[in-house]
């Protein structure tokens, strides 16, 4: 098993020589096996290991004993030990169930460790069995190609999963053969959690009735979808600069060009735009992406969508995506009085101009006012018989709402 994991690490280029690796250890079989495996393989890449443990505080004394067990494990290997505590009951609000809240807290802990710069990678103990459960869970809830790719062996943020090539059963057999102890988390048997029902009820039933190799098949599908996603990421890196305009954090899309694309490319460009606008927030669902595409496919007319973390507006042939604060703020009214020639800063507009009179300047008033357009403003252009509202001129010139 060790050599299979080593080959998997090399194939996915998880580690570079001399890197500092935080090993997430809960005390359970998978994470204990991960630590023991990396301790054995560390000399190959000259890795420097640190044991990371997060106490969720959900199981009282059982949780505290997990922390003590993990600390002893780190001491046995003479490794640094980093302990953090979380209080999940107060975290599980905001629409998150306990499973989701625990996952977000763990993710935050790992990213914090990486962000501090003390480590280069965080290694997690997810196995092929976890991968299969994740794929099935997402299939049941409804997902697209990115969801079916499930857990990546190597993420851009530095999180790696060296055990995705081995099953949960193989992990336990490996530990038993070496006489290595681990802790059992009683919550892993609680049928209240959807993941446990999939693990203990649904997957075994499907394997019995349909495919004894279902776990391997689901994990294989995830690996294929990961390759597809990797290719699309590179392709989007090429497409996005040609389709995106606007100043961060906003993104502006040409609705006609977007509508002319194959739906697969258009859908992914919209998702990339939403991800860009929403920063590190969890990805939006399929239905949100489709709503933006429907806005682009309209033959004419303005429209607006208020999505979680993104305000989407169509004006003429342009679609603007922006964070809600940026979209709703607009430009404040401003007014600058100019009484002498020379450069003039316009703070409310974000630029400066230079004012110089033409001719002898006698026809100019003593002072000029420079201000933003406001509803109701009108003037009489040369060649027109009566005043025209600026709004009408903007519409005739097809100037989007956000540029007026």
Count Cβ atoms below 10 Å from residue 246 Cβ, excluding itself. 17
Q: Find how far residue 278's CA is from the centre of its chain.
A: 8
Between the alpha carbon of residue 259 and those of residues 22, 245, 318, 402, the distances in Å are 45, 16, 11, 21
Report the predicted TM-score, pTM, of the whole model to 2 decimal places: 0.77
- Looking at 326-367, which runs of residues are DSSP E strands? 335-338, 342-346, 351-355
Closest CA to 373 of 399, 334, 343: 334
* Per-residue pLDDT at 249: 87
| Beta-bridge mates of residue 319 | 253, 314
- Residues 346 and 334: their CA atoms lie apart, in Å, by 8
Per-position pLDDT tens, the chain of length 404:
999 999 999 999 999 999 999 999 999 999 999 999 999 999 999 999 999 999 877 777 888 999 999 999 999 999 999 999 887 654 444 555 777 777 888 888 999 999 998 899 999 999 999 999 999 999 998 888 989 999 999 999 999 999 999 999 999 999 999 999 999 988 888 888 888 999 999 999 999 999 999 999 999 999 999 999 999 999 999 999 999 998 888 999 999 999 999 999 999 999 999 999 998 788 888 899 999 999 988 867 788 899 999 999 998 889 999 998 765 555 677 788 887 788 888 776 667 888 887 766 666 677 788 888 788 888 888 888 888 888 888 777 777 776 76
Residues 213 and 132: beta-carbon distance below 8 Å: no
Tell me the CATH number for domain 246-329: 3.30.465.60
> Cβ neighbours of residue 122 under 8 Å, at least 6 residues apart?
21, 22, 23, 24, 52, 110, 113, 114, 158, 159, 160
* Per-residue pLDDT at 93: 47
Domain locations along the chain: 2-225, 246-329, 335-403
Q: Which fold has domain 2-225?
A: Rossmann fold (3.40.50)
């Amino acid at each position: 098993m060790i050599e299979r994991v080593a080959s998997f690490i090399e194939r996915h280029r998880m580690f570079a020589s001399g890197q500092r690796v935080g090993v997430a250890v809960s005390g359970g079989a998978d994470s204990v096996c991960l630590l023991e495996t990396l301790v054995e393989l560390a000399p190959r890449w000259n890795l420097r290991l640190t044991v990371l443990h997060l106490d969720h505080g959900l199981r009282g004394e059982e949780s505290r004993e997990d922390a003590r067990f993990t600390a002893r494990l780190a001491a046995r290997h003479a490794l640094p030990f980093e302990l953090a505590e979380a209080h999940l009951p107060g975290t599980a609000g905001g629409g998150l169930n306990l499973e989701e809240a625990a996952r977000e807290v763990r993710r935050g802990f790992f990213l914090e460790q990486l962000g501090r710069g003390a480590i280069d990678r965080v290694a997690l103990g997810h196995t092929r069995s976890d991968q299969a459960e994740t794929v099935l869970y997402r299939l049941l809830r409804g997902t697209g190609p990115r969801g079916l790719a499930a857990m990546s062996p190597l993420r851009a943020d530095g999180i790696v999963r060296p055990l995705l090539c081995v099953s949960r059963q193989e992990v336990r057999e490996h530990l038993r053969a070496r006489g290595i102890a681990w802790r059992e988390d009683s919550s892993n048997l609680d049928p209240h959690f959807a993941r446990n029902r999939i693990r203990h009820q649904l997957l075994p039933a499907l394997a019995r009735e349909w495919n004894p190799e279902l776990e391997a098949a689901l994990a294989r599908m995830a690996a294929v979808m990961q390759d597809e996603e990797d290719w699309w990421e590179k392709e989007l890196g090429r497409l996005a600069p040609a389709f995106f305009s606007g100043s961060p954090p906003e993104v502006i899309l040409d609705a006609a060009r977007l509508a002319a694309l194959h739906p697969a490319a258009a859908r992914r460009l919209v998702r990339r735009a939403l991800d860009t606008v929403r920063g590190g927030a969890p990805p939006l669902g399929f239905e949100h992406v489709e709503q933006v595409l429907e806005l682009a496919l309209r033959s004419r007319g303005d429209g607006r969508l208020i999505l979680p973390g993104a305000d989407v507006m169509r004006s003429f042939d342009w679609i603007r995506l922006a964070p809600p604060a940026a979209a709703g703020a607009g430009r404040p009214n401003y007014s600058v009085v100019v009484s002498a020639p020379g450069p003039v800063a316009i703070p409310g507009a974000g630029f400066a101009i230079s004012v110089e009179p033409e001719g002898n300047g006698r026809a100019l008033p003593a002072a000029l006012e420079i201000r933003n357009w406001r509803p109701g403003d009108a003037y009489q252009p040369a060649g027109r018989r009566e005043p025209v509202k600026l709004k009408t001129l903007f519409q005739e010139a097809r100037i989007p709402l956000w540029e007026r």
